[in-house]
Structure 1
Amino acid sequence: MARLIHAIVTGLIGAALLHLVIVFALPQFTGGDAYSRVLALGPAGRFHLLDRQGPAEPLVPDDPFVQASVCAYDLTASPRIVTASGDPAFWSFAVFDKRANEIFSLSDRSIETGRLDAILATPAQAARLRKADPGLMGRVILVETTGSEGYAVLRSLAPHASLEPEALGFLKSARCDPFAQR
């Protein structure tokens, strides 16, 4: 019986110490998530070019041919419309929730025009948009997000130095504006 009590007490003390270590170490890990790093790049609601050497480095793959920009969004007040135009060799668009889970992605190979026109909306906002303008879905891509906060990543490819101006031009044309129903 004494061995059992000794084992239980030892287990409880070990669990308490482990709990304390986790609680005291937690502040060092918070603020290092992808969403926090995106918010640190600048104001939400606009695209920011990512510097591969800067603090956003872990947000994009280490590929010398890929340029990227990111926009944090908040859909609390209204949906956001994401647009970009240009003619890079290749581009892709992805939407992530606040916890860095990818909820949507597409590339220029999925769109006939090559131009990006997407609306980010909560399910309730998307339902209102569909009801107000049934033809809207034929003109834009509607991305429904379950949460109201997250970020969108736009990447363009420049496999040769001569193609970098088109890739950067596409990223610099990107907008992440509030959507106003017309």
Structure 2
Amino acid sequence: MRKVIYAVLLGLFGAGIVHIAVLLLVPDFSERDAWSRLAMASDLYRMTRFDAEAGGPPVVKSVDPLFFAAACRFDLNDGMVQVTAPGQVPFWSVSIYDRNGHNIYSFNDHSATGGKLDTVVLTPAQMIEVRKQLPEDYAGSIFVESPIGEGIVVVRAFVPDASWKPTVDRFLNGATCDPETLED
């Protein structure tokens, strides 16, 4: 019986130490979220590559080496955001995240007109204004209505083999994340 009590007490003591260590490390890790790391790497509305091919230390670790990626921080309080990229790649996907890293919306090239990346992220109120009179620039755009203020757009492109690297590099390096305002 003494051995069981000793094992339980030792387990509780060890669990307490682990718990305290985790609590002390939370502030260190919370300052290194994707939003903070992107903020240190670039300004709002600027696409930032974060794959291994971009050179330098990655801003955010990419999980799959066959995908290259770029991200852009935005603030919908400044107006809607239009994300575009030139050319065609074998496959691309776009994910919209809120500032805390929660995925709000995702889609890929199969949802786009002709496989072209052209999307507009906007609030429900901005969508009402756009619907009143759709500008020609947005005729083929995918509209993502989002109830967030600040967020991150992540564009990923598939690289099936080394021969596709230059094409995917041009696609991501040419990607834009432009703030747009509606004119009365």
TM class by shorter chain equals 0.7 to 0.9
Shift of 1:132: 3.3
Unaligned runs of 5+ in 2: 1-19
Shift of 1:129: 1.3
Give the AA of the match of 2:39: L
- In structure 1, the residue matched to 2:38 is 38
Percent of pairs with identical residues: 33
Give the 3 Å change call, closer, same or farther, for CA 142–27 of structure 1 in structure 2: same
- In structure 1, the residue matched to 2:113 is 112
Kept after mapping to 1: 8 A contact 2:112/2:142 = no
Shift of 1:163: 0.8
Give the 3 Å change call, closer, same or farther, for CA 36–81 of structure 1 in structure 2: same
Kept after mapping to 2: 8 A contact 1:123/1:144 = yes
Unaligned runs of 5+ in 1: 1-19
| Structure 1 residues 25-64: Cα deviation after superposition (integer angstroms, max 9, x where no partner) | 5432321222212222211101011143724243x2132x
Shift of 1:136: 7.4
Give the 3 Å change call, closer, same or farther, for CA 132–165 of structure 1 in structure 2: same
- In structure 2, the residue matched to 1:81 is 82
Paired residues, number? 164
TM-score after normalising by structure 2? 0.77
SS at match of 1:177: strand
- In structure 1, the residue matched to 2:182 is 181
Kept after mapping to 1: 8 A contact 2:113/2:140 = no
- In structure 1, the residue matched to 2:67 is 66
Give the 3 Å change call, closer, same or farther, for CA 136–61 of structure 1 in structure 2: same
Kept after mapping to 2: 8 A contact 1:93/1:153 = yes
TM-score after normalising by structure 1? 0.78
Aligned pairs for 1:31-180 (under 5 A) are 31-52=31-52, 54-58=57-61, 60-63=62-65, 65-133=66-134, 138-180=139-181
